[in-house]
Amino acid sequence: MSTLEPRYSRRALLCRAGLVGLAASASALLAACAGQQPTPTPAPPATSPTPAAAATPTPAAPAAAASPTVTVGPAAGEIVIGILATLEGAFALYGEEAVRGVELAVAEFGGAIAGKKIRLVKESTDATPQVAREKARKLIEQDKVDCIVGPLSGDEGLALRDYAKTIPDKTIVNGTSAAQDTTLRDPAPNFFRFSTDGVQWMAGLGTYCYEVKGYRRVATLGEDYSYPYSQVAGFLLEFCRLGGECVAQFWVPIGTKDYSSVISSMPTDIDAIYVILGGSDAVNFLKAYSDFGGKAALIGGSSTVDQNVLETKGALRSRVIGIPGAGPVAADNPDPAWKAWVEQYRKQFPQGLSTPSLFCWGYYVNAKGLLLGLQAVNGDLSDGQKKLQAALAKVEFDGPTGHIKLDKNRQAIANNFVTEVAEGPDGNLYNKLVKVVEGVNQTLGLPEDKYLSLGSFTRDNPTCEKIKRTFGS
């Protein structure tokens, strides 16, 4: 495989100014228990929650989402949870969905654990590891939160994993940060990920593209950081082992607007382009590819065909219909648990998307995992949160997409969904379910020793040749 890299000047890092408190919201498009728990009747978000008993969240009527009152430091009889999400920059809409996910989980527990009110404090990041760490420190040191849910983006997760090691008496559960090494290599004992990672989100897609779509030669395009590296690797691990070839790879900075050089440099002897871009980056590329009259088929990374992107208005709609993709959610999942969760999302957030995105799902399952752990210890955060962290390691539950449990690295094992973009009867685009891949672990079922021998996934690793040498084809 040859690596072709367009010459871009990397844009300045996104705005570092953070939004403090719970009044912040993203306004622009730019920018994964000991025993199963019954699903409680959803309650209003934690604005003025009614205290509930520890064993069963107090049911109440659903209400529109509201932001809890912000105060600094924990008050008696409350648990303070910080939310880190990208509420600005290229991934801003993802951040809005992230906050909705946490609020859904808190509402499900009646806004309280063991009679202690849950108070949420939001902080905005910009998808850079430096800002994510700064905002996490602010939440811990200034806002005095007990736990953090987040972050959203890949490099941010690696930064928070390392930060978690410096605060062993605090607990961090992931948001949707999906770089695989966050938990696979050198994990932090107080960092938990109840969502699956970027490699796991590709389970089934490489096989589907090779065996059903008939693709044999692909190029890849992704943003130049850890999460797209995981996504590309996850796709190639299946596609190359079946005999597929990756003939060129392109990497661009987050926030790229002009894709003309990339499109004009694409090889002509390919069947498809695997695209893993997020937010406005995905929208910009898809529009440009449509305008340029691109001929090769497209394959969607999880963020590229996320619901946030699919609900963008404009000419890209006709170009994305039929794109195969994969990820932790499928809009038309027939599972009653999914349907009930979607209905609650629509009731609680009538201003939201037509169906919740993977970012809402990720923050929801992580927040729910944390709340179940807190419930298991009756909200007891003494002893440097050791009891809570021990309980979290044992938490497993049935979520809206199936059963979730953690492995030895505190990483989720869960279902994944192969999809194709389709147009619904209401005119909205959505990810139509093609296949469910059940119980996907972090090595995609491959032998762990061989998998780890591949090394960390980067812009240059793994190649198809290395995958075939390691696992055969």
Tens of pLDDT, residues 86-104 = 998 888 889 999 999 999 9
Residue carrying the six token digits 């093609």: 434
Segments of 26-110 assigned E as strands: 78-85
Q: Can you name the residues that pair with 117 across neighbouring β-strands?
A: 78, 112
The first and second tokens of residue 7, run together, are 């010459």
Q: Which fold has domain 78-196+335-413?
A: Rossmann fold (3.40.50)
State the CATH class of domain 200-332+416-471: alpha beta
Cα–Cα distance, 237 to 68 (Å, whole number): 44
Half-sphere exposure (Cβ direction) of 361: Cα atoms closer than 13 Å: 33
pLDDT for the residue 70 = 40
Q: Say if CB 273 and CB 222 are below 8 A apart.
A: no
Q: Average pLDDT of 157-186? A: 98
pLDDT band at residue 245 using 50, 70 and 90 as cut-offs? very high
Average pLDDT, the chain: 87
Residue 306: φ, ψ to 5°: -65, 155
Per domain, the residue ranges of the chain are 78-196+335-413, 200-332+416-471
Q: Average pLDDT of 368-387? A: 97
Whether a cis peptide bond, with omega within 30° of 0, leads into 328 is no
Cα–Cα distance, 219 to 200 (Å, whole number): 20
pLDDT for the residue 73 = 54
Q: How far is CA 431 from CA 282, 302, 419, 454, in A?
A: 16, 10, 5, 31
Q: Can you name the residues that pair with 334 across neighbouring β-strands?
A: none
pLDDT band at residue 317 using 50, 70 and 90 as cut-offs? confident
Which residues neighbour 447 within 8 Å (Cβ) at sequence distance 6 or greater?
none
Cα–Cα distance, 15 to 2 (Å, whole number): 35
Question: Given the DSSP bridges, would you call strands 324-327 and 412-423 parallel, antiparallel or unpaired?
Answer: antiparallel
Nearest Cα to Cα of residue 234 among 207, 194, 200:
200
pLDDT for the residue 74 = 56
Which residues neighbour 400 within 8 Å (Cβ) at sequence distance 6 or greater?
335, 337, 338, 340, 341, 342, 361, 364
pLDDT for the residue 313 = 73
Determine if residue 253 is left, alpha or beta; phi over 0 gives left, psi from -120 to 50 gives alpha, anything else beta.
beta
Model confidence over 266-275: pLDDT tens digits?
999 999 999 9
pLDDT above 90 (res 334) = yes
pLDDT for the residue 217 = 98
pLDDT for the residue 314 = 72
pLDDT for the residue 389 = 98
- The CA dihedral of 251, 253, 259, 263, to the nearest 10 degrees, is 0
pLDDT above 80 (res 153) = yes
Q: Say if CB 358 and CB 98 are below 8 A apart.
A: no
